[in-house]
Amino acid sequence: MNATALEKEYLPQALTDLTEEEELFRASVREFAEGEVRPRVEKMEHDAKLDSELIKQCFDLGLMAIESPEEYGGAGSTIFNAILAIEELARVDASISVFVDVHNTLVTNAFMKWGNDEIKKKYLPQMATGKVGAYALSEAASGSDAFALKTKAVDKGDHWELNGQKLWITNGNEAEIFILFATIDANAGYKGITAFIIEKGFEGFSVGKKEDKLGIRASSTTELILENCKVPKENVLGEVGKGYKVSIETLNEGRIGIGAQMVGIAQGAYEAALKYTAEREQFGQSINNFQAVQFQLAEMALDIEAARLLVYNAARLKDAGKPFLKEAAMAKIYSSRTAEKVSSKAIELFGGYGYVKDYPVEKFWRDSKIGAIYEGTSNMQLQTIAKLIMSGK
């Protein structure tokens, strides 16, 4: 009996084991990533812009409505399938991966959980078929202290009027529907935060400059400007003054998506290094014949598998309706460290070639760095984990 047969007979099902449906879904996303995304990566990186045809294909393939209910044009699937897609896309390009990630795990899920029937009927079909979503929380003085918002919302009777500026907004250029957080009462602290639904065409709303970033360069990260922006009264997501709940609970799930993105980056860098070390010859043989190189590859594989297990565990818990906050925080922090570590090691294994843009690994490293920053810094994840373990939860 070979090793594979022994594993199947005696070992319990691992978190990395996929159902037949999940395997088919993963394979379909990988086929898309290899066939359609990879040929466009270099140009998108150079132009610092996502290919518009690729965006259309993401909608056509259903990648923008993975968890959205079927009645609204979605697949009615799971967050686990969403992270499989995010991971497979990041294995090829992190920019298209985070584009799909934010639309699904932040924006669509916020509408699903907090939107009333009218809001769901209006916006979810649009987001399933062609309109990109963005999530606007951060401001110049509001990063880790997410509720120190300066953007203000004033009740004008028949509408809300918003004034302020948002920064670091993923999908800013492509999005047509924004979940945007503002305060109705700065003195009320987090109890004044309210989530509003903003459409790109609303009077007084505009998209500002696009940031020139180290990594995920094709992903648009922009500022948003609100100057007496008129928002219909019915465009409050959730309850007035309860926006903090919308943001916290949505970001908890979003961190699983970022974890999947980081696993994908690490996997892509690892595969590039594995291929290169088999082809590169020194001292009359492939460098992967040297034990020192083999051990480095083994360490990379070990870290990736551990990160993947953490991410998959958090997603399985979420789909099962069980607590997953601690697991999501652990998954994000560990996978972001893994992506940076593995991609850095890949550069070293490539030697001088790893430091130039003719080869892919320097991009994986640049793309990895954001994992420790957005959707909750690594320090904030450690704080979350510490609070939960100290409280006995």
For the annotated catalytic residues, the residue numbers are: 375
E strand or H helix at 171? none
90: tokens are 């990041």
**Closest alpha carbon to 127 in 68, 55, 53, 206:** 68
From CA 159, how far away is CA 172, in angstroms rounded?
A: 24
Residue 299: Cβ within 10 Å count = 13
| Amino acid making up residue 1 | M
From CA 386, how far away is CA 4, in angstroms rounded?
A: 39
Burial, 170: exposed, middle or buried (Cβ in 10 Å; 0-12, 13-18, 19+)? buried
Q: Is 339 helix (H, G, I), strand (E, B) or coil?
A: helix
Q: Are 346 and 361 in contact (CB under 8 A)?
A: yes
69: tokens are 């209910």
357: tokens are 């843009």
